[in-house]
Every structure is written in structure tokens, then in C-alpha cells.
């Protein structure tokens, strides 16, 4: 099958990757659409030391698996847990210490014609949610997770640093729950692009936009969604004493940071990764969150390398890959 | 008056520091005993850029001030707030943006014969609490603050990294509230010193001791109280997914750290600084927390430089200064 493979030094689209083999408790999914995430680009920079087929955001249809799923459109939670250890028994399966993670850790991903996942990881997609919406379930679930981890700050002043695809999802989720949200852009160009593309969404949700230079201070919550090292230092500047920073970026390599302000100002830094899919599917079905304006382009998987390049360009939003094309 | 002064390059005991001048709303306190904190040593390494009389842990008696306080033994909260700004109005006076801080930021400290504080910062010391106990109120209040910030983890498995004076107070506070506490020492020598000195306290509170090499993983709460850069990286290793790290050390300079594990494991890092005095005074009055075994020595203020040196030696615990001697 066609697949986009990372071998540790080069990403290539190959025509002849082996189709995933049969495994009990799993389903084989024909990928209809997959999304490129910043984590994919981080992997190309060395993050997680992953080798194999990239991709963890997808929507597809089950071609082999339980009767009730066969032929259905599904999305898939990306952490494959053992479901036997104490961590799994406590319900925290996303943190299973022996987990594999789709396209990130020890499990081939979804930038391919077919992908195999445990049946328990699959969620049916309602008919009224199109493929171009459903492909956002995974990152939107991560955005909802951030909101859940900061539930005590609901209704406060929140700044989201980084107007990328994840930042734009989180800003919407926080605005929807009643926060006063300021989206902080780190360049005038990206601020203008954003206005042009997302004005309707921003206006509907009353999300303010600001440059770094003109943004205020003293936010109850600052979401660090920049995808780079500078984000956390800025977050520390913007957050109020005893406020919280939600840390979303997983950046390959070491950060250098003065931690004293965190202690002096008694700030909480909350790491946040993946979330449950149900609230994300519901939000897309009810159209409370807009994802279509985040799509830059949809390319055939055969143009996957070009798509990765475009996804890494400054100001890029979501690039989608169509494996059957 | 005699005082221990830091001029930015040298610490000296001077015989002729000017006595603090009269200011409305303040009281003049004759210092009976003062304690050396790791923060004092950090200031000598450049932390906060402070210049002036060092020292923020003390017990003294009011010699000039309101009638009801004159002649009374007091301890003093160290943050001097404006009590007019929105932060103060919200009750978070310790985080007043224009605050000064005793012996740390813009206010002369307590390594002197006399110190002046706002009357609202003073707390009377019950007769049954001796000077050698009362001088621990400030760091013990900080330990209780850490417990309050992690109240949701009460009764869980907690590791305290750093068996210094602050770590030993926090370990006791957490054990008292019902946590299963492991105190992690970073050297066999300090582990043995600790056993010799604090065995009774540890046994009474059922606090386990461990070296770094043999400590387990997966703690609900890890307290970073090492006072140096390596502490946080170790804390990240020891904490369980979705657990919390309480960050107590204020270290001068930049930390280098891989932040990805915080995001992947959805860990909370909670900065923690000062606390309210009331619970600390009560704990000392009720003798639920032992502080006497933490005292290395009590020296006259005239030997203050020697005391600072001893306080900075590996494995040192609390050095006390007696200004009248």
C-alpha cells in the first residue's frame, strides 16, 4: 500500500509498504483523510525517536473488524493501552506505561491507505460530521482536555499564545465555555492572515486578537501552543500570580528557562496532551467549534512530502492528506 | 546597630548600620533570633539583585509600636503589600505587584539588632512556643502553603527531594496530613546524618527515607526542595502521569530542561513560595511538627559570616543568629 514513511533521516512516500497484518481485537481501517500535526514535524526533528509510517489524525472506514463497525466511518484514539496494568485499571489508559501511540511511538500511523487500531480505540463518526470535520477530532479532543484540566479557571481571562491550528481550536473551546479569550499572535503577518481567514469565527465567539507587543498582562490562564521554545517564557510573563499555564507544545530538545518566577508568583504549569474523543465529536456534530477555516489545503498522499513542507511553513494551518488519491 | 549587610559583592557584619527610621503603620522589633534560609545564600549568588541587610526569618519583641504589641514576642510575614491595588483587594497581598519583601526585595531584613515591619504583618507568638521554635514560623508557613496547594493529593504517595531544612519541614507537614512520605536524599552521607539526627521524628511520623538510586517511581506528588537545578529533572522522573510537582527552590540563573515529559505525562508543576503564618504557629504550639532537631547551631550575629559559610556547607541544616550577642 502507499504510505508516508519516516526512517529517521528521510521522509518518503513509498508505493509498497506492507499492509498491516491481522491482530486480535483490532480493526483494519481504510484511511479517507489524514491531518498533519505539528507533532509530525517534531518527529522529523528527532522527537520520540519514531521510525515508521507517520500520522495520527485521521478519519476512515472499517474494512475488517466487528460486524457493527464494518463499513462505518470512524476516528481513532491514538494511545494503544495494555488495559491490564494498574494505570489502565485506574482509568488512565492514555498513560499506560507500556502503551504504543499511533504514528508516534511503536505503532505505524495513518499516512497510509490502511491503518490498524484496537477496536476499543475507535469511535463512529455521526453522518452529519463530514470527513473534513472528523479529521479534526483528535486535536480537538486535546483542546477539550486542556479545558477540562483548567476547569477551575472557567470564565476568567485567558490568553492563547500561538495562533496555529491547535491554538485556534483551544481558543474556540475556551471561548465556548465562557472565558474572555485573547489570541496572541507573534507576528503582524500572521495576525493579518488570521483576521482574513477566521474573522467570522472570532467575531461569533468574541475572541480578541493581539500582537505580543500590545497584549496585556495578568491573565488567569495562559495557553502555550506555540510549538517552540520561546512560548513558555512569554507565558510566564503574561500569567498573573497564582494563575495557570497550560503547556501544549512538545518540542524536541532542551528548554532553557528561569524557573524562579514560577515559584515567586506561585504559578501552576499544567502539561496537557491527548483527550477523550466524545466531547470533540459532539462539538463538531453541534457545530459549536469551526474547523473548516483552519484547512490550508487537501493533497493526495503521493504529494505527502510537499504537504509536510507546506505544513512547516510559517503561518501554515492544517494540511490534509488523501491516501486514496 | 549591628547588622549583616550584603552590598552586591560582599557580605559583612557592620557595627554601625543606621537603626530603621520611624514609619507610620509600622513597628520596631528587637530581633531575638534569626534563621539563615537557602534564599539568603541564593541572594549572595545574585538572586533578586538585593542590596541591604539580609534575613527574613526571625522572632523578636516589639519595642516601638501599638500598645497591645509593645513588649510582646512576634514573628513577621515577609511580604509588605500596598493593600490598595486589585491584587491586594482580592486577598492575594503576598502577590502585591509593588510589594517589598523583608531582606529579599527593597526592604532591610532581620540579621540586625532591630528590624521594622508593618504592624499588619506581625503575629504574636504564644508563650509556650520558644524562640528556637518561633524562628521556624516563616519557613514552616511556606511548607503549609505547599500542602494547601496540593490539597487534592492528600493521603497519596509523596516524595520530597532534598533533605534540607525546608524539605524536612514539608515532609513533616505532608506526613501529618496523611500522605505516605518518602524523603529522598541525594547522598549516602546526608542520608546517614539525617538518620542520626531525625530518627525519632521520622519514626513518629512514619516518614520513609531513600537514596535517589533506590527510590521508586510513580509518586502522586513530588516536592522539589533541593535548592539546585538538578531537582526538577529528578522530580519529573519520579512523578506519575497526571501527578504534581511542587516547586519550592528558587535558584539564581537559568534551568535547562526537557519539558516534553511534562506534556506527555500531563504533569502539573506548582510554584510555591510563602504561606500564611497561622497554621505554622498553631503546629508549633501543638508540637505536631518538630523543628529543634533541624538546628545545627546558634551563633552571635558578630559571627554572621562564619554562620553563612556553615549554612552553605553540604548537608547543613538551620543556622541561627543571635543579634544581641
Do the chains contact at A247 and B259, CB–CB below 8 Å?
yes
> In terms of DSSP bridges, do strands A79-80 and A57-64 run parallel, antiparallel, or are they unpaired?
unpaired
Which residue is it, cell 497550560? A246
Count of C-beta atoms within a 10 Å radius of residue A304:
26
Q: Which residue has the higher pLDDT, A199 or B40?
A: B40
B232 at interface of A, judged by CB pairs closer than 8 A: yes
Q: What is the pLDDT of residue A253?
A: 65
Instruction: Give SS3 for B116.
Output: strand
Do the chains contact at B272 and A266, CB–CB below 8 Å?
yes
Do the chains contact at A248 and B263, CB–CB below 8 Å?
yes
Q: Which residues of A touch B269 (CB under 8 A)?
A: 262, 268-271
Tell me how close the Cα of A246 comes to any Cα of chain B, in angstroms.
Answer: 9
pLDDT band per the 50, 70, 90 thresholds, residue B256: confident
pLDDT exceeds 90 at position A227: no
Q: What is the mean pLDDT of residues A54-64?
A: 98
Q: Which residue has the higher pLDDT, A253 or A205?
A: A205
Number of DSSP helices (H) and strands (E) in chain B, helices first: 10, 20
Residues B133 and A75: their CA atoms lie apart, in Å, by 61
Length of chain B: 325
Give exposure, B42-70, as e/b (b: 16+ Cβ within 10 Å): bbbeebbebebbbbbbbbbbbeebeeebe
Residues A42 and A103: their CA atoms lie apart, in Å, by 12
DSSP run (H or E) holding B282: helix B278-285
Q: What is the pLDDT of residue A118?
A: 97
Residues B4 and B311: their CA atoms lie apart, in Å, by 15
Q: What is the mean pLDDT of residues B36-60?
A: 94
Q: What is the pLDDT of residue B318?
A: 97
Do the chains contact at A263 and B254, CB–CB below 8 Å?
no
The mean of the pLDDT values for chain B is 94
Phi, psi of A85 (to 5 degrees): -80, 170
Are A55 and A4 in contact by the 8 Å Cβ rule? The answer is: yes
Residues A37 and A248: their CA atoms lie apart, in Å, by 13
Residues B133 and B289: their CA atoms lie apart, in Å, by 10
How large a percentage of chain B has pLDDT more than 70? 99
* pLDDT 10s digits, B190-202: 778 788 888 888 8
A49 at interface of B, judged by CB pairs closer than 8 A: no
pLDDT exceeds 90 at position B149: yes
Residue of chain A whose alpha carbon sits nearest to that of B254: A258
Ranked by mean pLDDT, the top range of A110-114, B46-50, B88-92 is A110-114
Are A166 and A143 in contact by the 8 Å Cβ rule? The answer is: yes
Q: Which residues pair with B299 in a beta bridge?
A: B321
Q: CB-based contacts of B301: which residues, under 8 Å, 6+ apart? A: B2, B3, B4, B13, B34, B111, B112, B113, B321, B322, B323, B324, B325
> In terms of DSSP bridges, do strands A219-224 and A239-247 run parallel, antiparallel, or are they unpaired?
parallel
pLDDT band per the 50, 70, 90 thresholds, residue B253: low
Q: What is the pLDDT of residue B74?
A: 98
Pick from A241, A263, A268: CB nearest B87: A241
Are A139 and A166 in contact by the 8 Å Cβ rule? The answer is: yes
Q: Which residue has the higher pLDDT, A194 or A243?
A: A243
pLDDT exceeds 90 at position B219: yes
CA-nearest of A20, A75, A37, A46 to A249 is A37
Q: What is the DSSP letter of A216?
A: -
- Give the CA count within 13 Å in the CB-facing half-sphere of B12: 8
Written as nine digits, the cell of B303 is: 559571627
Residue of chain A whose alpha carbon sits nearest to that of B86: A218
How large a percentage of chain A has pLDDT more than 70? 99
B14 at interface of A, judged by CB pairs closer than 8 A: no
pLDDT band per the 50, 70, 90 thresholds, residue B311: very high
* pLDDT 10s digits, A147-170: 999 999 999 999 999 988 999 999
Written as nine digits, the cell of A20 is: 498491516
Q: What is the pLDDT of residue B41?
A: 94
pLDDT band per the 50, 70, 90 thresholds, residue A61: very high
Do the chains contact at A250 and B263, CB–CB below 8 Å?
yes
CA-nearest of A62, A321, A270 to A146 is A270
pLDDT exceeds 80 at position A254: no
Tell me how close the Cα of B251 comes to any Cα of chain A, in angstroms.
Answer: 6
Q: Which residue has the higher pLDDT, A29 or A249?
A: A29
pLDDT exceeds 70 at position B56: yes
Q: What is the mean pLDDT of residues A275-290?
A: 97
- Give the CA count within 13 Å in the CB-facing half-sphere of A287: 7
Residues A165 and A224: their CA atoms lie apart, in Å, by 13
* pLDDT 10s digits, B164-176: 899 999 999 999 9
Q: What is the pLDDT of residue B252?
A: 60
Beta strands in B170-279 (DSSP E): 180-185, 208-211, 219-224, 239-247, 255-257, 268-271
Which residue is it, cell 557584619? B13
What's this model's pTM, rounded to 2 decimal places?
0.91
Q: What is the DSSP letter of B121?
A: G
For A:247-286, CB contacts with B below 8 A are 247-273
Count of C-beta atoms within a 10 Å radius of residue B157:
18
pLDDT exceeds 70 at position A45: yes
Are B1 and B19 in contact by the 8 Å Cβ rule? The answer is: yes
The alpha carbon of residue A49 and the mean position of all alpha carbons in its chain are separated, in whole angstroms, by 19
* pLDDT 10s digits, B278-301: 999 999 999 999 999 999 999 999
Do the chains contact at A255 and B250, CB–CB below 8 Å?
no
A148 at interface of B, judged by CB pairs closer than 8 A: no
Do the chains contact at B232 and A259, CB–CB below 8 Å?
yes
Q: What is the pLDDT of residue A252?
A: 60
Are B96 and B78 in contact by the 8 Å Cβ rule? The answer is: no
ipTM of model: 0.88
- Residue of B271, B274, B275 to mutate, testing the A interface (most A Cβ within 10 Å of its Cβ): B271
Residues A199 and B203: their CA atoms lie apart, in Å, by 64
Pick from A232, A247, A264: CB nearest B250: A264
Ranked by mean pLDDT, the top range of A201-205, B85-89, B313-317 is B85-89
Beta strands in chain B (DSSP E): 3-6, 11-14, 26-35, 52-53, 57-64, 73-76, 79-80, 100-102, 106-107, 114-118, 122-124, 157-161, 180-185, 208-211, 219-224, 239-247, 255-257, 268-271, 295-300, 318-322
Amino acid at each position: 500500500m502507499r504510505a508516508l514513511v519516516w526512517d529517521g533521516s528521510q521522509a518518503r512516500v513509498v508505493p509498497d509498504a506492507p499492509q498491516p497484518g491481522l491482530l486480535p481485537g483490532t480493526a483494519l481501517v481504510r484511511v479517507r483523510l489524514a491531518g498533519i500535526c505539528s507533532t509530525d514535524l517534531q518527529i522529523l526533528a528527532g522527537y520520540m525517536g519514531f521510525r515508521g509510517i507517520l500520522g495520527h489524525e485521521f478519519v476512515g472506514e472499517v474494512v475488517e473488524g466487528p460486524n457493527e463497525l464494518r463499513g462505518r466511518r470512524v476516528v481513532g484514539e491514538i494511545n494503544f493501552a495494555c488495559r491490564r496494568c494498574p494505570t489502565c485499571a485506574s482509568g488512565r489508559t492514555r498513560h499506560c506505561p507500556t502503551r504504543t501511540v499511533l504514528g508516534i511511538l511503536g505503532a505505524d500511523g495513518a499516512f497510509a491507505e490502511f491503518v490498524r487500531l484496537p477496536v476499543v480505540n475507535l469511535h463512529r463518526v455521526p453522518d452529519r460530521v463530514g470527513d473534513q470535520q472528523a479529521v479534526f477530532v483528535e486535536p480537538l479532543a486535546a483542546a477539550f482536555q486542556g479545558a477540562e484540566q483548567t476547569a477551575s479557571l472557567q470564565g476568567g481571562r485567558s490568553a492563547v499564545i500561538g495562533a496555529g491550528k491547535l491554538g485556534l481550536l483551544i481558543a474556540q473551546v475556551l471561548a465556548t465555555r465562557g472565558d474572555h479569550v485573547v489570541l496572541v499572535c507573534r507576528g503582524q503577518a500572521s495576525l493579518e492572515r488570521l483576521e482574513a481567514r477566521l474573522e467570522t469565527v472570532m467575531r461569533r465567539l468574541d475572541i480578541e486578537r493581539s500582537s505580543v507587543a500590545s497584549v496585556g498582562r495578568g491573565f488567569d490562564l495562559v495557553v502555550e501552543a506555540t510549538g517552540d521554545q520561546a512560548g513558555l517564557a512569554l507565558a510566564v510573563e503574561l500569567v498573573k500570580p497564582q494563575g495557570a499555564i497550560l503547556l501544549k507544545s512538545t518540542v524536541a530538545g532542551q528548554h532553557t528557562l528561569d524557573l524562579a518566577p514560577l515559584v515567586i508568583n506561585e504559578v501552576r504549569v499544567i502539561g496537557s496532551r491527548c483527550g477523550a474523543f466524545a466531547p470533540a465529536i459532539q462539538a463538531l456534530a453541534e457545530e459549536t467549534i469551526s474547523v473548516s477555516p483552519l484547512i490550508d489545503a487537501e493533497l493526495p498522499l503521493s504529494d505527502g512530502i510537499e504537504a509536510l513542507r507546506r505544513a512547516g511553513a510559517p503561518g501554515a494551518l492544517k494540511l490534509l492528506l488523501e491516501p486514496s488519491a
